[in-house]
Amino acid sequence: MEVRDHPFAQRLLASLRSGVVAVDSSGALAALNAEAQRILGCPTGPPAASLGLPCSVALAPQPAVAELLMSALDGRDGPTRNELPLEAEPGSEGRTIGFTLLPVGASPGASNGAALLFRDLTRYERRDEQERLRERLAALGQMAAGLAHEIRNPLASMEVLVGLLKRRLGRRPEELALLAELKGELRTLADTVTASLEFVRPVEPLRGRVDPVELLEESLALARARVAFSGAIERDYAENVPALFADGEQLRTVVTNLIVNALEAMAGSASRAGHVLRLGLRTVPAADASVPAPARCADDRAPCVRPPPQLVISVSDTGAGVHEELRERIFYPFFTTKERGSGVGLANAQKVVACHGGSIELASAAGAGARFSVWLPTSSEDSTCP
């Protein structure tokens, strides 16, 4: 009997924070909840509308999941607890699920169906990656601070010497042109040193109420003042997004730099026609965005308080994208693909967002553009900077 025949079972499945998929002995879908529908990328609409369809049809976006369920029906030995990478469209973020596969039997040895219970592990894996990255950035920052102090004094002396040479050379245009070029290179080096010191300086957010829509619109105006853009701009803002308790100036700098990077990526691509900048705002429930509630409730006697939902700000472009071998390094300080870039913009953005208790993620494929997503908690509690 299908779940749609039992209203209580429907409500139970709808309230679960884990994905649930079940098939009957014929391989037809017998249960599907909204969380499973979301994670697996099944067609939108009421989950009950898919019940009764063959498993391979209902779960067409994820054939590996359908194969798992059918293997349990066939009696084939397979993993009952494991992790499984899901199929992802080109340029979109991949997902990994942790699952438990349960045969459903009417009696011992008789298979009456199979059920798959799973959670999206992607956010937890990325949180671990973000933590490892922050540790590496902290070590690099300490090294950069030491080098910057050692370099600054000789740089100041060289700029003084360039000024003295300029006065002694008088009216010798060729030599003066070389000196001007030397002075420009010294200034570039000094700017890099200053940027490195700025990167290692502790971030102290001055928190207040920040309207996310105003934040995005102001950042867009600032970015367009810096980079000319004649393409289309698309906005996908969810309704009634909550305000942030954050440092508006710091976050405005982060989002402005992300938009500037997106505009520059499209300006530098082979074809400038038809480019689109996409800005997005959405909220993600706590179950999808943070540590599961049981992990925060070790003491059964204490009330279980779910972590707050997360606000996701996304900036997408239709430029050349980021090559796979560069994605891990793109948040490293002093790494840049720009001819005159300092390489600290994204590293600083990562640091500011981390100090607000959030993270930045990149989804990209070569030739398919890039999407940066800034995840920020909607809690009003202060976060501790790493």
The string of DSSP letters for 146-195 reads HHHHHHHHHHHHHHHHHHHHHHHH-S-HHHHHHHHHHHHHHHHHHHHHHH
**CB 336 within 8 Å of CB 343:** yes
Domain final position from 200, 232, 253: 200
User: Could you tell me if 85 and 47 lie in one domain?
Assistant: yes
Q: Could you write out the DSSP letters of every residue in 310-362?
A: EEEEEEEE-SS---HHHHTTTTSTT--SSTT--S-HHHHHHHHHHHTT-EEEE
Within this chain, do residues 32 and 169 fall inside the same structural domain, yes or no?
no
User: Is 366 in the same domain as 222?
Assistant: yes
Q: Tell me, yes or no, whether 57 and 13 share the same domain.
A: yes
Q: Is residue 278 part of a domain?
A: yes
Per-residue pLDDT, 339: 61
Residue 385 maps to a domain = no
Residues 352 and 223 in one domain: yes
Residue 188 domain-assigned (yes or no): yes
Predicted confidence pLDDT, tens digits, the chain (386 residues): 455 556 666 677 777 778 889 898 888 888 888 888 888 888 777 887 888 888 888 888 888 888 888 888 876 666 667 888 887 665 556 678 888 888 876 555 556 788 888 888 776 666 666 666 666 666 666 676 777 777 877 888 888 888 888 888 877 888 888 888 888 888 877 877 776 666 666 667 889 999 999 999 999 999 999 998 888 999 999 998 999 999 999 999 999 999 999 998 888 665 555 789 999 999 987 655 443 333 333 344 444 445 578 899 999 998 888 877 777 677 776 666 666 555 667 888 888 888 888 888 888 866 778 899 999 988 654 444 54
Out of 120, 146, 175, a domain closes at: 120
CA 231, CA 369: separation in Å to the nearest integer? 14
Q: Are residues 225 and 338 in the same domain?
A: yes
pLDDT score, position 300: 41
Residue 51 maps to a domain: yes
* Domain match, 20 and 133 both: no
Which element (helix H / strand E) includes 283?
A: strand 276-284
94: containing domain: 3-120
Q: Tell me how many domains the chain contains.
A: 3
Same domain, 361 and 304: yes
Tell me if 383 is assigned to some domain: no
- CB proximity list for 281: less than 8 A, separation 6 or greater: 212, 213, 216, 236, 237, 238, 241, 311, 312, 313, 314
Question: Which helix (DSSP H) or strand (DSSP E) does residue 21 occupy?
Answer: strand 19-24
Residues 233 and 177 in one domain: no
**Can you give the pLDDT at residue 15?**
72
What's 115's domain CATH number?
3.30.450.20
The pair of three-digit structure tokens given for residue 178, joined into one six-digit string: 């070389």
Q: Choose among 93, 39, 92, 94: nearest CA to 65.
A: 39
Q: What does the alpha-carbon distance between residue 322 and residue 313 come to, in Å, rounded to a whole number? A: 19
With contact defined as beta carbons under 8 Å apart, do 337 and 325 qualify?
no
Q: Which residues of 246-259 are buried (b: 16+ CB within 10 A; e: fewer)?
A: bbbebbbbbbbbbb
Is 261 inside a domain boundary?
yes
Same domain, 219 and 368: yes
Domain boundary among 180, 200, 220: 200
CATH of residue 247's domain is 3.30.565.10
Place of tokens 């009634």: 240
The confidence score (pLDDT) of residue 129 equals 64
